[in-house]
Structure 1
């Protein structure tokens, strides 16, 4: 009986170890990629998975629908994930007390690279190419009728407008709603925090007048919305980058090279189109990622 219990515990322990980053497979290692709930990190995970599995003896397992980037970062720090996709503006989300806020894209990504390397032992690669920044979006016909192109142009109408936004933006410090009011000098008649997909449904049904969009969202052209110029340069950049644990990348330089090869390969319009195909046409993230890699000459047919 004792031998049986010991064997069972050993098997259970091995299952736990294999479920975390850096497990082993018959051909090599099994790496864990953590992806948030939205579609672009899931597609990025597939890009990494396909290239790693096609070009090395290793495998990549993707854990999807992690609720927020801080949870992804915490899991990277604990060694539960090996890789992820993150955005440069995440550096301002209360990880560090002494970070100097800037809206300059290059400065922001350099701060992220240095800070997360030193504090979390994470390599933050140069951007994969696309951005996913905050932007106010309104109906094109309303914008055309009232000659609205900049965020400042909303001031005359703000008291009567209802803003739909993800709840996190209402609560953020440097680039959230309270800081926005201080910078632009006006606030909206009402704000409604909601899940992103519901936000777009709300503006389509005229339940809200404008939304806090993400620039990569395919719903922007799909619902004929106009994104407004941030004329006060309030919002920080959110350039997308692959990130990985230093320990993993140093031990497996062939994987590190794949990450390097993916730098500046995916334009914002390309990612938006891939998201549209997944979210609106029902294609799989693996299918659109593989098709993209073949079209870009990064993968043989």
Structure 2
């Protein structure tokens, strides 16, 4: 009996210690295949882990933005990066417009109403589709805008992001219909391959991403979307409302990035990965520390 009494304080002490060592909950951020979403994914990770009692896994290369929308829907991931033009992929009824504020408002209201996602204030940059050619090709055919392609498209090989071919409202089929174009060949490929393909003359024209630093690296010329085919594509953090309700500190952490990254900054960060071959995780960490958003 005396032994039991002697052991009781020790047992209570162990219970107190164990109660303080509870396992942290884990959430998952999903990224697409292109670089900036990976950099942003790690920014989310660092900010959330610093500001809350939650661990964050980063799941990369989840194909296209529609895949991110569906992964959120299935709760396979709890947050990611999406672009306002995603509303044109038939997720819910929308008002047809190209006005940036109207598109943003519809993204925020529609994804909240129909999917219970929180669509944050944009990060500060737009990443739209950009038809690009080498300066040599632009000079040869006097190409300045997409409409100029009508006279030469039938002789040209076009390289495009695979996921763009599958988009019903802002993809290949409505694009060629809007501009009245017919290309010699169309080659779907992973977005990271298009830049070298056109620079090495394997393609005559490619569909690039406007925030990609490799446009400048390969001295490519972007053709003006003179018929305003593409809608706004402002980048935003998107998260499950249920997850944010469960972890209020996560919401506070994510708000810190809104409006903090302009197009030049994003291109610079992308260049560090795509050109300088740095790791997205390290690039994200250094940026946050430089901005005073992450403790060193």
TM-score when normalising by structure 1 = 0.85
Among 48, 54, 61, the residue aligned to 1:52? 48
Do structure 1's residue 85 and structure 2's residue 100 form an aligned pair? no
Q: 1:195 aligns with which of 168, 190, 198?
A: 190
Instruction: Give the whole-Å Cα distance in 2 for the aligned partners of 1:198 and 1:79.
Output: 31
The runs of 4+ residues in structure 1 deviating greater than 3 Å are 25-28, 144-147
Determine the structure 2 residue equivalent to 1:12: none
> How far does residue 63 in structure 1 lie from its aligned partner after superposition?
1.2
1:120 corresponds to 2:115:
yes
Equivalent of 1:208 in 192, 199, 203: 203
- Choose from 274, 285, 294 the match for 2:280: 285
Aligned residue pair count: 276
- Equivalence for 1:176: 171
Give the whole-Å Cα distance in 1 for the aligned partners of 2:188 and 2:73. 30
Partner of 1:75: 71
Over the residues paired in the alignment, what is the CA RMSD in angstroms? 1.8
Q: How does 1:155-166 map to 2 (within 5 A)?
A: 155-166=150-161
1:264 aligns with 2:274: no
Aligned equivalents of 1:38, 1:86: Cα separation in 2: 12
1:194-238 deviations in Å (ceiling 9; x for gaps): 222222222122111110111112221111101111111111111
Q: Could you give the per-residue CA deviations for residues 228-280 of structure 1, whole angstroms, max 9, x where no partner exists?
A: 11111111111111011111112222211122221111112212221221122
Over alpha carbons, which structure has the higher Rg?
A: 2
Whole-angstrom distance in 1 between the partners of 2:193 and 2:75:
34
> Is the CA contact (8 Å cut-off) linking 1:47 and 1:289 kept in structure 2?
yes
Deviations 1:2-57 (A, max 9, x none): xxxxxxxxxxxxxxxxxxxxxxx946432211112221111111111111222223
Which SS does the other structure have where 2:50 is aligned? helix
* Partners of 1:155 and 1:276 in 2: CA distance: 33
Equivalents in 1 of 2:169, 2:212: separation in Å?
A: 23
Counterpart-to-counterpart distance in 2, 1:57 and 1:65: 26
Residue among 30, 37, 42 paired with 1:41: 37
* Distance in 1 of aligned mates of 2:167 and 2:230: 12
User: Residues 168, 80 of structure 1: CA spacing in aligned structure 2 closer, same or farther, 3 A cutoff?
Assistant: closer
TM-score, structure 2 as length reference: 0.87
Shift of residue 102 of structure 1? 2.2
- Whether the aligned pair in 2 keeps the contact of 1:27 and 1:58 (CA below 8 Å) is no
Q: How far apart are the structure 2 equivalents of 1:48 and 1:169?
A: 26
**Partners in 1 of 2:191 and 2:241 — Cα distance?**
33
What are the ranges of 5 or more consecutive residues in structure 1 without an aligned counterpart?
A: 1-24
